[in-house]
Amino acid sequence: MIDRELLEILACPLCKTEVRLEGDRIVCARCGRRYPIRDEIPVMLIEEAEAPGEPAERGSGGSGSGGPGGGGGGAASA
């Protein structure tokens, strides 16, 4: 899957610490963010990462991106 040498030089883009491979995700040892691997390429973008406690494969998102489906939870009223 991911070359060991590549994994050794990768770091979390948020906290700049080492990462480890867990299944099909690269996980930051410090903040716990989970970065996806697509077509054997690590996607080391903060906005693509799953924060600790988020369900897997929720898709990218985050506040303020305005993507399709938009909703970020919370109370919405018309």
Query: Please, are residues 2 and 40 in contact by the beta-carbon 8 Å criterion?
Result: yes
The verdict on pTM exceeding 0.75 is: no
* 63 contacts: CB under 8 Å, gap ≥ 6: 72
Residue with tokens 């369900």: 55
Cα–Cα nearest to 44, from 56, 59, 33: 33
Q: Which domains does the chain have, with CATH numbers?
A: 4-48 (2.20.25)
Residue with tokens 């898709």: 59
Q: How confident is the model at residue 63 (pLDDT cuts 50, 70, 90)?
A: very low
Does the pLDDT at position 2 exceed 70?
yes
* 4-57 pLDDT per residue, tens: 999 999 999 999 999 999 999 999 999 999 999 999 999 999 999 999 987 766
Query: Please, are residues 31 and 7 in contact by the beta-carbon 8 Å criterion?
Result: no
More confident residue, 43 or 70: 43
Position 51 scores a pLDDT of 94
